[in-house]
Structure 1
Amino acid sequence: MTPWLPLISSLVVAGVALIGILTNNRTNRDAITAADERNQVILAAAQRNVELTNSAAEHREHETWRREAILTTVSSVLAVATEVRQQLSACHRWNVQSVEDIDSIGEDIDQTIWGRGGLTHKLRVLSDRTIPNRCEDLLRTLTAARNITLQRLKIELDDEATGEEVQAVLTLWTKAIARTVEEERSVISATRTELGIDDLGDIPELVPEPLPELVQPQPV
């Protein structure tokens, strides 16, 4: 049996070596698999971070654009309001000789007020409903002030109008002009609130032009 001992010993050694190799290979494969899984987790986390970063950047860019668009649109509405209010406040300087002259100017003012009515629709897409609602209130108030202004001028052209009638329409006209100022401030306030701007404490009061002296109708 002696001649077989070296062979048996060699087989035992080879078997032990093979088992060691197989065990080592399995350990290496497990380690590689675990490393791959960790890398996949790291890559997935990195991808999510990139996506979140890009999403946040896109949101900031969109929000910046939205705020600028709101400010631009509201500024356009307020520019129209200021133009019309100043024109109505200076109605005593209009060169009108007849009812037709008054109506013609009234049509021009009406076009100025509503010719850019699409601005409020744009605001309904861009902002909370408060801002476009306030803008529409402002435009309607300007229209009412325009109507009262035309009425005032027509009464002042009427030789048969009494002093009481002239005074009544002038008082109504004064309130209408003051109301347009209030509505302008309401639009500004709503815009500042939505955009997170400070309160209105630093905004100077809007004051209508001084009233002209009352024009009394001449006795016939």
Structure 2
Amino acid sequence: CIPLLREARARGVPITAETCFHYLGLSAEDIPAGDTRHKCCPPIRDARNRDALWDELLAPDSCIRTVVSDHSPCTPELKLLPPRLDPSPPPEPDPAAGNFLSAWGGISSLGLGLPIMHSSARRPPITHMVRLCCQTPAEQIGLSHRKGALAPDMDADICVFDDTARWTLSRADMRWRNACSPWEGHVLSGRVRETWLRGRKIFDLGAPDGGFDALGPTGEAITETRTA
């Protein structure tokens, strides 16, 4: 689709595109048979396609402006995991287990985006990651006066990222309800140590309660006019 996007931009069409962490970090050749944790839409393509995405993403005039999680969680049952991957296999095996056509399409990776990008052989500079994951998304949805940068009168949303850490993702590290992800067992480079929202620490790796602030959610509904 990249040639189509470039052709449209050349004609003056105001169009942008995004990609997701799993398309930049996974490839079809490495997916074990029946490992439906990798089921998503569009599907994960081969390494050549992944490398072409990186080529476009890192180009100065790239039409891919943002990288997002597309976090799409579900219960392990909906993923139709084969018995070897199911943490709680049913007494009677599901005949559809391991069937990519029948399994839920979506990948869980919330909170793993920075380590995934930082672990890639095409590792972009931190400044590029900030632009792709923070600055440009804020601009596109009309929140650049509050989000996407650190400056006076902005929201002071901060991620403390340890770019020297190396760690292996386990189910205990997954900060969502149903611990099911194709990233389980992957060795990642870089780790989020703290997260601050509007100047308040809401996550601290290693703290009790999974690291989350015990006072509960503090998010706000934000509606803004989108930019062109």
Q: What TM-score do the two structures reach when normalised by structure 2?
A: 0.23
Q: With a CA cutoff of 8 Å and minimum separation of 6, indicate the structure with the bigger relative contact order.
A: 1
Higher strand fraction: Structure 1 or Structure 2? 2
Q: Taking structure 1 as the reference length, what is the TM-score of the superposition? A: 0.24
Q: Which has the larger radius of gyration?
A: 1
